[in-house]
Amino acid sequence: MNELSTTDHLFLGEALATAKRPADVYQAAEEVLARRLGFGLFTMLIRTADGEQVRRVYTTNAQAYPLDGCKRMGPTPWGDLVLKNRQSYVSDNAEGIRWAFPDHELIASLGLASVINVPLVAMGQVLGTINVLDVAGRYQEDKLAIVRCVAPYMVAPFLREL
């Protein structure tokens, strides 16, 4: 199944309603995405005020991708696509990772070569991105809906991060 179940939506809604901090909701998203999609790395990036960088606010691998780490993502082709044009990015191979990310060598060293990036958009503004990565061949367009269904639950926590 390539979408969330009613149980998943209720779980995320309850997490959002009872969270004490943004990371509580991010952890709920991690659980849902692990169950529905599977991943080798899950991160959440928030867009900085200048729009040129993103700052990591959640990660499942703090050693390789520490919290509050920043990446310059605009202006780049990926930044234009995801941050400027509000389009999701999906790739299932290392070439797509190289095209998109300046840290592609680190990503490859973790054995990751598939990615789904979903911009988190509220009222026309891109607040950041939801990012899941896994081994080559793992993600194609048919998996995108799963991550897109999680995105609305992340708006309030992202706004708290700003």
Read off the pLDDT of residues 61-79 as tens digits, 9 standing for 90 and up: 999 999 977 877 667 888 8
Nearest to 159 by CA among 12, 25, 67: 25
Following DSSP, what letter does each residue of 112-159 receive, concatenated? --EEEEEEEEETTEEEEEEEEEESTT---GGGHHHHHHHGGGGHHHHH
pTM of structure: 0.94
Assign 59 to helix, strand or coil. Answer: strand
Amino acid 67 reads: L
pLDDT in tens, 107-139: 999 999 999 999 999 999 999 999 999 999 999
